[in-house]
Structure 1
Amino acid sequence: MKRAFITGITGQDGSYLAELLLEKGYEVHGLVRRSSSFNRGRIDPIWTTHPQAADHLHLHYGDMTDGVSLVNLIRDIAPHEVYNLAAQSHVKVSFEMPEYTASADGIGTIRLLEAIRQAGLESRFYQASTSEMFGATPPPQDEQTAFYPRSPYGAAKLYAHWATVNYREAYGMYAVSGILFNHESPRRGETFVTRKITQAVARIKLGQQDRLVLGNLDAVRDWGYAKEYVEGMWRMLQHDEPQTFVLGTGVGATVREFCQTAFEHVGLDWEAHVDYDERYERPTEVDALIADPSKAIDILGWKATTHARELATLMVDADLELFSRG
């Protein structure tokens, strides 16, 4: 039985990946940060929906800023595959917490790579890179596009990306970077713009909220469905040769278009409910991120099937169900 270690298992991607790997017969180990309150809402249902989870899903306390915990866990688990999904992943927050973002997202990756190397394991390593590394570089963006990050988050992730490439080339490690464009789902955090929109739409439709306040409505993003993207992560680690891959839909949509679709889905006029507030603007904006996923399609046979319009309606329906339950 293959063993996988997932950092960030309690997040959107981590929970979907854990489900996928359990279905594929893996023993799954996940890194969980210690907190005074439980934050396992995304993975708790796995124990009831996946019969294998009782015996094959294991959680461990640790932190990407604590190298000792990572060394001990890698040594004890001896995973065949490591998926580094843990991060302070909110771009706006990274301007307010730049040092922590750099430590968790950037140096944290070095800590994990070193833990694998020092343990002498032949683990296959996946690094969750991000389209935010492209930043100001015009779309479409692929594996050869120049990087130009526009936030502490993007810069920290770029450090981690190049560290992954360096460990592959310097030590012969099987280490890959997946440069994923925006991918969302009903499990997306409530502070991210897509989930903020779909939750507001559901609450407004149900009479539980009146207004939605947003920042830049003109930003263009390539939005896909997170559940599909974790399949791409897994496929990267099954390929014979470790490489960098871009995952995305190849189609861009503005925040305004996503918002309009979400409101129209429940029969509402978005302009009657949305207000603008400059406080939600970033200090340096990323205007447009649109993937060219040709390499992943050709080599991995992976292709996104859910685009922004379908994604918005899917998420609104999930939030309507959530808030209808009270």
Structure 2
Amino acid sequence: MKTALITGITGQDGSYLAELLLSKGYEVHGIIRRASTFNTGRIDHIYTDLHDAETKLFLHYGDLSDSEQINNIMYNLKPDEVYHLGAQSHVRVSFDTPEYTGNVTGLGTARILEAVRRSNNNVRFYQASSSELFGSSAPPQSETTPFQPRSPYACAKLYAYWMTRNYRDGYNIFASNGILFNHESPRRGGTFVTRKITRAIARIRAKKEEFLYLGNLEARRDWGFSPEYVEAMWRILQQDRADDFVMGTGTSYSVQDFLDESFAYAGLKVEEHVKIDPRYFRPTEVESLIADPTKAKKELNWAPKITFTDLVRIMVDADMRAAGLEPIGEGDAILAEKFPNRWWRGD
């Protein structure tokens, strides 16, 4: 039985990845921060699913700012695979907390890599890199596109990207970067724009609020579906050699497009409920990100099934259900058609 360690296991990607690995027979360990309140909502259902079976999911307290904790966990577990997803991952917030973002998102990766080096050189390491690395570089962006980061978050991720490559080259560690473009789901954090929109739609339909406040509607992103992207992470670590891969759909839509598609699907009018708030603009904006996933399609045999309109319907339906409303239903039908034997639950 393989053993995997996931940082950021309570996040969107971490929770889906845990389910994927469990479905493949892994023993899964996750690092969570000790806090005054539990933040395990995205993985609580896994314990319910495993109640009558042998539990193969284990959580450990740790913090990416504490190298001693990280070293102890790595030394004691000696996992076969490490998926480093933990970070301060909100781009807008990184402008308000640049030092913290650099410490956790950047130096946190160095601490994990050093723990890997000290404990077990045979471990396979995955670094969650980001399309934000490309910043103002002209799209489409591939593995050879120059990096031009435009936020403290992107700068921290750039440090983490190059540390991963340096540990690969310097210490012969199997260390790979997955440069993932935006990927969403019903588990996306509520402060990210896609989930902010779909949650607001449900609350408006439930008559719990009237307006949605947003910032730049012109930014264009390559949006995919998180469960498909965590499968790509796993495939990256199953290769014969470590390498770096861009993951995305190859299509681009603006925030305005996502807004229009979501509201139209829910039968609402954007002009009646959406207001622009300057507080949500970034000091420096990334205008357009579009993946060129040619390498991933060829070498990983990976291609996403969920389209932009599929994603909108899946997320709106899920948030309407969460708000106690009857979902429109197209999102559920899409999942049933494209993932008839899906390995994740709880959405």
TM-score, normalisation: structure 1: 0.98
CA deviations on 1:224-251 (whole Å, 9 max, x unpaired) are 0001100000000000010000000100
In structure 2, what is the Cα distance between the partners aligned to 1:53 and 1:148?
48
Query: What is the Cα deviation at residue 134 of structure 1?
Result: 0.3
Which region of structure 1 is more displaced relative to structure 2, 23-32 or 115-124?
115-124
| Alpha-carbon contact 2:206-2:325 (below 8 Å) kept | no
1:222 equivalent to 2:222? Answer yes
The gaps in structure 1 that reach 5 residues or longer are none
In structure 1, what is the Cα distance between the partners aligned to 2:271 and 2:144?
39
In structure 2, what is the Cα distance between the partners aligned to 1:88 and 1:120?
26
Per the alignment, residue 210 of structure 1 pairs with: 210
How do 1:280-299 residues align onto structure 2 when only pairs under 5 Å count?
A: 280-299=280-299
In structure 2, what is the Cα distance between the partners aligned to 1:225 and 1:54?
30
Per the alignment, residue 32 of structure 1 pairs with: 32
| Alpha-carbon contact 2:121-2:173 (below 8 Å) kept | no
Per the alignment, residue 7 of structure 1 pairs with: 7
SS at structure 2 position matched to 1:55: coil
Per the alignment, residue 74 of structure 1 pairs with: 74
Per the alignment, residue 90 of structure 1 pairs with: 90
Query: What is the Cα deviation at residue 262 of structure 1?
Result: 0.6
1:275 equivalent to 2:275? Answer yes
| Alpha-carbon contact 1:251-1:307 (below 8 Å) kept | no
| Alpha-carbon contact 1:34-1:62 (below 8 Å) kept | yes
CA deviations on 1:193-229 (whole Å, 9 max, x unpaired) are 0000000011111211100110000000000000110
| Alpha-carbon contact 1:249-1:305 (below 8 Å) kept | no
Query: What is the Cα deviation at residue 120 of structure 1?
Result: 3.3
Query: What is the Cα deviation at residue 54 of structure 1?
Result: 4.7
Go from structure 1 to structure 2 and tell me whether the alpha carbon gap of 1:54 and 1:63 turns closer, same or farther (over 3 Å shift). farther
Query: What is the Cα deviation at residue 319 of structure 1?
Result: 0.3
Per the alignment, residue 103 of structure 2 pairs with: 103
Go from structure 1 to structure 2 and tell me whether the alpha carbon gap of 1:54 and 1:282 turns closer, same or farther (over 3 Å shift). farther
Which region of structure 1 is more displaced relative to structure 2, 115-124 or 195-204?
115-124
| Alpha-carbon contact 1:181-1:248 (below 8 Å) kept | yes
Per the alignment, residue 300 of structure 2 pairs with: 300
Go from structure 1 to structure 2 and tell me whether the alpha carbon gap of 1:53 and 1:195 turns closer, same or farther (over 3 Å shift). farther
Per the alignment, residue 160 of structure 2 pairs with: 160
Per the alignment, residue 194 of structure 1 pairs with: 194
In structure 2, what is the Cα distance between the partners aligned to 1:324 and 1:120?
48
SS at structure 2 position matched to 1:324: coil
1:62 equivalent to 2:36? Answer no
In structure 2, what is the Cα distance between the partners aligned to 1:247 and 1:49?
30
In structure 2, what is the Cα distance between the partners aligned to 1:54 and 1:314?
32
Go from structure 1 to structure 2 and tell me whether the alpha carbon gap of 1:312 and 1:114 turns closer, same or farther (over 3 Å shift). same
Among all aligned residue pairs of Structure 1 and Structure 2, give the percentage whose two residues are the same amino acid: 57
In structure 1, what is the Cα distance between the partners aligned to 2:182 and 2:171?
31
In structure 1, what is the Cα distance between the partners aligned to 2:53 and 2:179?
29
Per the alignment, residue 140 of structure 1 pairs with: 140
Query: What is the Cα deviation at residue 52 of structure 1?
Result: 8.5
| Alpha-carbon contact 1:168-1:174 (below 8 Å) kept | yes
Say what the alpha-carbon RMSD is for the aligned residues: 1.3
Query: What is the Cα deviation at residue 305 of structure 1?
Result: 1.4
In structure 1, what is the Cα distance between the partners aligned to 2:325 and 2:52?
29
Query: What is the Cα deviation at residue 49 of structure 1?
Result: 2.6
One-letter amino acid of the structure 2 residue matched with residue 209 of structure 1: E
One-letter amino acid of the structure 2 residue matched with residue 173 of structure 1: I
In structure 2, what is the Cα distance between the partners aligned to 1:84 and 1:107?
12
One-letter amino acid of the structure 1 residue matched with residue 198 of structure 2: T
Query: What is the Cα deviation at residue 306 of structure 1?
Result: 1.2
In structure 2, what is the Cα distance between the partners aligned to 1:129 and 1:81?
17
One-letter amino acid of the structure 2 residue matched with residue 155 of structure 1: C
SS at structure 2 position matched to 1:83: strand
